[in-house]
Structure 1
Amino acid sequence: MSDPVPGRIRQKLSAPGHARIARLAAMIQHVQPDVLLLCEFDHPGEGGDDGGLTDFCRYYLAEPQYGQVAIDYPYRYCPPTNTGLLCEADLDGDGERTLPQDGQGYGFHHGHFSFVVLSRYPLIEEELRSWQTLLWQQMPDNHMPEGYYSPEAMAQLRLSSKNHLLLPVQVGHQRFQLLCAHPTPPVFDGPERRNARRNHDELRLLTDIINDEAYLTDDQGNPGGLAKDAPFVLLGDLNADLHDGEGMVLALRHLLYHPRVHRVVSEGKLTPKSLGGRFFRPWKLRRGRSSEWTHLSGLRLDYVLPSADFDVLNSGVFWPDKKDPLRRLVTGEDGKERADISSDHRLVWVDVRLPAVKGEYN
């Protein structure tokens, strides 16, 4: 739900009846997630809801779509984003400061390609932590391309293309942390591979937050990352696949095989799968397991990764196969899957049981 024209998504959401949005809502209603990260949802770049998310919940999620059951999310969060935020330096060296190329994150307007969090449980916003303003060059041993950015650009360019945040969720007497991010795609660059390098380091930032690395200071002024015993769930379109695509996979490998990440979900028997993905044939040959794909390009890009202390009950990817009546949510009248029908991504879900209470978490 993103558009290069500012305000256009807001206008589309202001009334019921938009077919594509209704199909997206029907997918959510079918899966019924308790907590949801929606990527590429335009909203004000400085954060907050301009009414678009409220209208999406009111006109689409709260009303049955395509025979599904309505769902209510009383707790919602629209974080600030770097997408479409014009950098104070000329990033691409063309002598001008213009969007989208000179944005802190790629976007045609501030708030383009943002993400939002929806929850049935309270979101503790006053304890939120974020790393939106961390400079890329502040990461030790970073992968910034040598000789590409000017000293002025290096002194201004942030690492997170949208935002990296920790958001506490309260479930009764228990609490866990949502770790959310949407790294830049590792494509649309040149021989310097600036986007591939940035994707790698955005993924590494997630691992560094989990590791509570000493160099980290969040936007709120607090040092470090996650507490050592804090349960968490990582949510994100990570724009990286372990087996295919253009990404630098080392950072993703470190994340998926991190000892604090639940291995049975990251690369085990409960890695989310679908029949629709299994039988999908993309335009390019791939090496990865098709049942685990989450994108029409034949890649696993979207992840729900609970920490190892959760009990994992089930998982899946909402990608109906040709025999499923819900196939109409992802295909046109010609029976073909296209991004403009609903999305080029597929919804990933994991059912978990919270770990036993261990006290308060930061």
Structure 2
Amino acid sequence: MTTRRRTTVASALVAGLALSAVGLTAGAAVGHPGNGHGHGHDKGTELRVATYNASLNRATEGELVADLSTPDDAQAATIAEVLQRTRPDVVLLNEFDYVPGREAVDLFRDNYLEVGQSGATPIEYRYAYVAPSNTGVPSGFDLNDDGTVGGGDDAFGFGAFEGQYGMVVLSRYPIDTRGVRTFQDFLWKDMPGALLPDDPATPEPADWFTDEELDVVRLSSKSHWDVPVRVGRETVHVLASHPTPPTFDGPEDRNGRRNHDEIRFWSDYVTPGKTSRYIYDDDGHRGGLRPSESFVVLGDQNADPLDGDSVEAAIDQLLDNRRIQDPAPTSGGAVEAAALQGGANTTHRGDPALDTADFADTAPGNLRADYVLPSRDLRVRDTGVFWPEQADPLSRLTGVYPFPSSDHRLVWLDLTLR
């Protein structure tokens, strides 16, 4: 275990705050705002924020810890190099299995991030936030109506074990742990006008779940986190989540509807007044963000504005929110991939430059699934998707199927705080 001073927090842990004094060298693929020779803490106004579905999930409990316990896991090393090349100050990693006691996060920092990968400069994230996920947590009910109780489909969120497909926030700036809010236990039925799934075999509406099931079914397939990050004198609320894929169900469309409402949750949360009044966190506190608070919505939302299987306009709930701006990051690699792979990509209505995920060419094709969406009071300096074209030497980090890293691409955003 490293002896460097740093803080990893879980949902019940409150730690002291200290400013990081780590230096920064600009990444080879994506330069950091400023002159590239320092982190920018002297101004306290520049921030690079990213989201990355890193696919660091494993098939069995304990496997991720085993893989990260040595510096020899090729996928973890590739994910680490992507982070070292892009150098976000704050990053949400989706599909990073939750391990109680923060062991997996510490191992990833010790053995991969803080070790230079293939000539890249090591990166230190002194602060991290981890907390339990609904994935794999037994509900005790037959939620998929297959006649048996148990397994991933009957868990509060799909997973073969508790914490599979979890997430972690890494930060080079202090996390205000006392201000963190989690919404793991929020019940789906408690969202006004929830798009609850319907059993098409009956005349009654929204009746896929029984009353007893609705009393326990949670909205979040993983969790929703509001993680305040202190940047100098300012605070930016990192709103982290990973809605369920809108597939792997039946005509009741329970996953598509849940994806829609998981996305809606953040749109309601950042809207002051009556819209967010219904929301309660895991400590019982109600309401959403205040109008004066800055935020960035991060995560693999599993929804494209025009293509794929999500409920129509699901992601538009965020993109069209008056408090949110969409910088619409692009990459040349996504355009190239859509053209080379063909298949479903040839029928897409969306601009392939906006794609962030390299999915099966038969269906659904490549999609825009991952988002970094800041509040309108934050100035966007630059943005992009780490998807190099094949002629770029760093395209080895993204590759083609079977991917050396993930089927998703890191999405980044450079901000100037007010």
Q: Do the structures match in fold with TM over 0.5?
A: yes
> Alignment partner of 1:211: what SS?
coil
Per mean C-alpha deviation after superposition, the further-off stretch among 218-227 and 277-286 is: 277-286
Q: 1:48–1:79: 8 Å Cα contact kept in structure 2?
A: no
Match of 1:360 in 2: none
Match of 1:159 in 2: 219
Q: 2:263–2:317: 8 Å Cα contact kept in structure 1?
A: no
Q: 2:380–2:413: 8 Å Cα contact kept in structure 1?
A: yes
Alignment of 1:346-357 (within 5 A): 346-355=409-418
Match of 1:246 in 2: 309
> Alignment partner of 1:328: what SS?
helix
Count of residues in correspondence between the two structures: 341
The answer to whether the aligner puts 1:186 opposite 2:186 as a matched pair is no
| Residue 19 (structure 1) shift | 1.2
The answer to whether the aligner puts 1:222 opposite 2:285 as a matched pair is yes
Uncovered stretches (5+) of structure 2, i.e. residues with no partner: 1-55, 198-205, 360-365
The answer to whether the aligner puts 1:22 opposite 2:103 as a matched pair is no
| Residue 248 (structure 1) shift | 1.1
> Alignment partner of 2:235: what SS?
strand
> Alignment partner of 1:63: what SS?
coil
The answer to whether the aligner puts 1:108 opposite 2:160 as a matched pair is yes
Alignment of 1:42-61 (within 5 A): 42-44=97-99, 48-49=101-102, 51-61=103-113
> Alignment partner of 2:160: what SS?
coil
More contact order relative to length (CA 8 Å, sep ≥ 6): 2
Match of 1:199 in 2: 259
The answer to whether the aligner puts 1:41 opposite 2:96 as a matched pair is yes
| Residue 135 (structure 1) shift | 0.7
Match of 2:375 in 1: 307
Alignment of 1:71-220 (within 5 A): 71-145=123-197, 146-212=206-272, 213-220=276-283
The answer to whether the aligner puts 1:70 opposite 2:133 as a matched pair is no
Uncovered stretches (5+) of structure 1, i.e. residues with no partner: 266-270, 332-336, 356-362
Q: 2:385–2:412: 8 Å Cα contact kept in structure 1?
A: yes
Per mean C-alpha deviation after superposition, the further-off stretch among 88-97 and 30-39 is: 88-97
Tell me, in whole angstroms, the C-alpha distance in 2 between the residues paired with 1:339 and 1:85.
Answer: 30
Q: 1:24–1:342: 8 Å Cα contact kept in structure 2?
A: yes
Tell me, in whole angstroms, the C-alpha distance in 1 between the residues paired with 2:114 and 2:179.
Answer: 28
Tell me, in whole angstroms, the C-alpha distance in 1 between the residues paired with 2:414 and 2:299.
Answer: 16
Match of 2:26 in 1: none
Match of 2:356 in 1: 294
Runs (4+) off by over 3 Å: none
> Alignment partner of 1:250: what SS?
coil
| Residue 217 (structure 1) shift | 1.3
Note the alpha carbon deviations across 1:218-277, whole angstroms, 9 max, x for none: 1111110111110001111000000100001323112112111124x1xxxxx1111110
Q: Residue 334 of structure 2: which of 277, 287, 310 is its match?
A: 277
Match of 1:359 in 2: none
Q: Residue type of the partner of 1:113?
A: Y
* Two-structure CA RMSD over aligned residues (Å): 1.2
Q: Percent identity at matched positions?
A: 41
Tell me, in whole angstroms, the C-alpha distance in 2 between the residues paired with 1:196 and 1:237.
Answer: 14
